């Protein structure tokens, strides 16, 4: 049984790889530069089952582990990182529902999410609360059998085209520390009072909307309180962010791999001083360093994903993977641009896109500095005297 399951997983990874080669790479350059939402690619991703990858089979998903999921995300990012972003928040919301939701919530939301018809969005950050999640001011006030949500959320991927949003709000504003009074609500698109006030123009990560959502007396049934118990939202969000950091690390590995692939191909074709630049020692040193760091990041990523699959706390491993992979990606994309020389600075080649996409991953799902703090806290706990 396990052998057959592994074969099925590898078949999906291989199919995603072929999809990237045939369908994504040929169109990504133009879609990205024109900042066009990839409607046709999204439809094909639904058919491939990418949106259902980690959703349990009983709810219509493929039921894959995060180790397999990380490889799918790496392949998508190799073609176009924005596609993996559209998937990330969706999978993150589905994970929180599957892990912490009531059975009624699982049956209500997961089957439509598995089809990709309703895609998920995560609403955590606010104008004055990014890394400091406990500083959020959005409130959810009980009103009979409902809650009224008021406030706004920033940096919402799938903010305009998402169908189900996991929204972190304060249900007890007097709780100390504040995280004890936070809860997550599942809010569907079209709920009265929910609107998108604006989208942000970005350096990279184009083709997918990053929006601000406004909640003005948004009435949500108490049945949509994740898990049915108040005060658990911060825990739910932090566990979900472990999934998000695995995703971002996989994205970084995928983008870096794409940059390396382009760079080594160009180095074999471009000649200076009578021979391909790949035969110059300076270029060989760059290629060796790039490939080694990519492989190291990939191993850290796989370790974090496998620990998450075992149901263990993996904020240390996910933090390490996210920190190392994203910093590595920034470095590798710059090295790729240097190998291309002047051409790397033009829009004729994809390398400039990789270079613009890389900084996003340094701040997504927690900045590098936050990752270092998370890692340090866990190390001090692990090595305490």
Catalytically active residues, by annotation: 365
Q: How far apart are CA 311 and CA 141, in angstroms?
A: 33
Beta-bridge partner residues of 168: 184
3-state SS assignment for residue 63:
coil
The dihedral through the CA atoms of 256, 260, 266, 271 has a sign that is: positive
Beta-bridge partner residues of 165: 121, 187
Q: Are 97 and 226 in contact (CB under 8 A)?
A: yes
Side-chain half-sphere CA neighbours of 97 within 13 A: 35
Beta-bridge partner residues of 183: 169
Q: What's the count of helices (H) and strands (E) in the chain, helices before strands? A: 11, 9
Task: Say what the alpha-carbon torsion angle 253, 255, 258, 259 is, to the nearest 10 degrees.
Answer: -110
Q: How far apart are CA 218 and CA 149, in angstroms?
A: 5
The set of residues, in sequence order, having a beta carbon less than 8 Å from that of 120 and lying 6+ positions away, is 89, 90, 91, 92, 93, 94, 113, 158, 162, 163, 164, 165, 166
Do you know the residue count of the chain? 385
**Rounded (10°) angle between helices 315-340 and 281-309:** 160
User: Angle 22-24-25 (CA atoms, 0-180°, nearest 5)?
Assistant: 80
Q: How far apart are CA 144 and CA 354, in angstroms?
A: 50
**Residue among 76, 67, 113, 107 nearest 94 (CA):** 113
Alpha carbon 153 to its chain centroid, in Å, reads 17
3-state SS assignment for residue 221:
strand
């Amino acid at each position: 049984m396990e052998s057959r399951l592994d074969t099925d997983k590898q078949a999906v990874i291989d199919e995603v790889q072929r999809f990237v080669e045939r369908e994504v790479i040929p169109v990504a350059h133009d879609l990205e530069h024109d900042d066009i939402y990839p409607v046709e690619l999204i439809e094909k991703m639904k058919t491939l089952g990418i949106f259902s990858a980690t959703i349990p089979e009983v709810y219509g998903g493929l039921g894959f582990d995060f180790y397999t999921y990380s490889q799918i995300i790496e392949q998508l990012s190799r073609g176009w990182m924005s596609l993996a972003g559209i998937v990330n928040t969706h999978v993150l919301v589905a994970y929180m529902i599957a892990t912490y939701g009531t059975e009624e919530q699982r049956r209500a939301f997961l089957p439509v999410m598995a089809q990709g018809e309703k895609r998920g969005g995560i609403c955590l950050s606010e104008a004055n609360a990014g890394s400091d999640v406990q500083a959020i001011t959005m409130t959810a006030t009980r009103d009979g059998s409902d809650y009224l949500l008021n406030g706004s959320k920033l940096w919402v991927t799938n903010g305009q085209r998402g169908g189900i949003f996991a929204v972190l709000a304060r249900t007890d504003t007097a709780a100390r520390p504040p995280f004890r009074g936070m809860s997550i609500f599942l809010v569907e698109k079209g709920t009265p009072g929910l609107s998108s006030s604006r989208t942000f123009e970005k350096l990279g990560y184009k083709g997918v909307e990053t929006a601000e959502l406004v909640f003005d007396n948004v009435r949500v049934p108490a049945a949509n309180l994740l898990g049915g118990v108040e005060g658990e939202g911060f825990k739910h969000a932090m566990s979900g962010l472990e999934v998000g950091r695995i995703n971002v690390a996989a994205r970084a590995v995928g983008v870096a791999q794409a940059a390396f692939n382009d760079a080594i191909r160009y180095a074999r074709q471009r000649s200076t001083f009578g021979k391909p630049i790949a035969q110059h020692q300076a270029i060989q040193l760059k290629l060796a360093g790039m490939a080694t760091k990519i492989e190291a990041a990939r191993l850290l990523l796989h370790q974090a994903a496998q620990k998450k699959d075992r149901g263990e706390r993996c904020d240390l491993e996910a933090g390490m993977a996210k920190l190392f992979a994203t910093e590595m990606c920034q470095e590798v994309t710059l090295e790729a641009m240097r190998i291309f020389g002047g051409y790397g600075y033009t829009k004729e080649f994809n390398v400039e896109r990789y270079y613009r996409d890389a900084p996003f991953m340094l701040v997504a799902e927690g900045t590098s500095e936050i990752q270092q703090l998370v890692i340090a806290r866990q190390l001090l706990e692990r090595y305490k005297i």
